[in-house]
Amino acid sequence: MKAVILAGGKGTRAKPFTDYFPKAMIPVDGKPLIAYTIQHLLSFDFISEITIVCDLKGFGGQIKNYFAESKKIKFVQDSSSGTAGDLMHLKIAKNEPFFLWFADNLCALDLRKMLKHYTNKNSLACIATRQFRKEETGFAQVKDGVVSQFIEKPLIKMEDCECTGIYVLSGKILDVIRSKAKKNLNLSYDILQELSKKDLVSSFDIGKTPWVDVESPAVLERKSDSIKNIISQIQK
């Protein structure tokens, strides 16, 4: 089974770092962010190959140089045509599911359980979601203008599920993407939204498994405890 990592974004939220490096190469405890995701993916014996979609003509060349010696990693030029459009050049059979991972997401997700959930739901796409989020600020319980209790950075249950940027997709979705006339295609809004109306998109709840969107180097400091926890799970 193949896994695909999307690492071709502009990284505007990570500037000025991304004026010199791709966001996927943000250093985390001495290694690039993307290296942990690759390590985690390859720890599952059913993942035979990883394709990284990045701007090989630009900063994405740094990613290719870093993993040049790995025989299990392939590269595809980012087409700058959106999170769905960037998948058009993948070579994956219609009946072959594949994992899709956005490069700025860090999570020690149980891929075996997620793949089983995708299969059991007989869907064309499965999104890893979460209902619980650790808040970064403290809260106060207030009644009639009086604080009765302080709650320090609680774990809250959200009304709607949060998408983590980790997917299992059917190879059939690539044909759906190629059939669209639109040049810039967003995976969620232009492809999965339509499929969800046909009950073809399932959700895999990661529970309280820690997940971090490393949108910028500043996040590394704010969420250092969660990141250390995730890295320790990946390196077990």
Separation between Cα atoms, residue 29 and residue 142, nearest integer Å: 40
Q: Cα dist. 29→26, 40, 123 in Å?
A: 10, 16, 37
42 inside domain: yes
148 inside domain: no
pLDDT at residue 79 in the model: 86
pLDDT at residue 20 in the model: 83
9 inside domain: yes
Q: What is the largest CA-CA distance in the chain?
A: 64
Separation between Cα atoms, residue 156 and residue 160, nearest integer Å: 12
151 inside domain: no
Q: For every one of its 236 residues, what pLDDT tens digit does the chain have, with 9 covering 90 and above?
A: 999 999 987 667 777 777 888 889 988 988 999 999 999 999 999 999 999 999 998 889 999 999 988 899 999 999 888 999 999 889 898 889 999 999 999 999 999 999 999 999 999 999 999 998 777 777 888 998 888 888 888 777 878 889 999 999 999 999 999 998 788 899 999 999 999 999 999 999 999 899 999 887 788 888 888 899 999 999 98
Q: Cα dist. 137→131, 151, 214, 223 in Å?
A: 18, 9, 18, 12
Domain with residue 183: its CATH number is: 3.90.550.10
Separation between Cα atoms, residue 26 and residue 167, nearest integer Å: 22
Q: Which of 99, 104, 100, 47 is nearest to 227 (CA)?
A: 104
pLDDT at residue 152 in the model: 82
pLDDT at residue 100 in the model: 98
Domain residue limits at 207: 2-131+161-234
Which pair of structure tokens corresponds to residue 212?
A: 């971090």
Collapsing DSSP to helix, strand or coil, 15 comes out as: coil
Note the pTM of the prediction, 2 decimals.
0.89
204 inside domain: yes
Separation between Cα atoms, residue 175 and residue 53, nearest integer Å: 18
212 inside domain: yes
Q: Which helix or strand (DSSP H or E) is residue 116 part of?
A: helix 111-121
pLDDT at residue 11 in the model: 64
What is the number of domains present in the chain? 1
97 inside domain: yes
150 inside domain: no
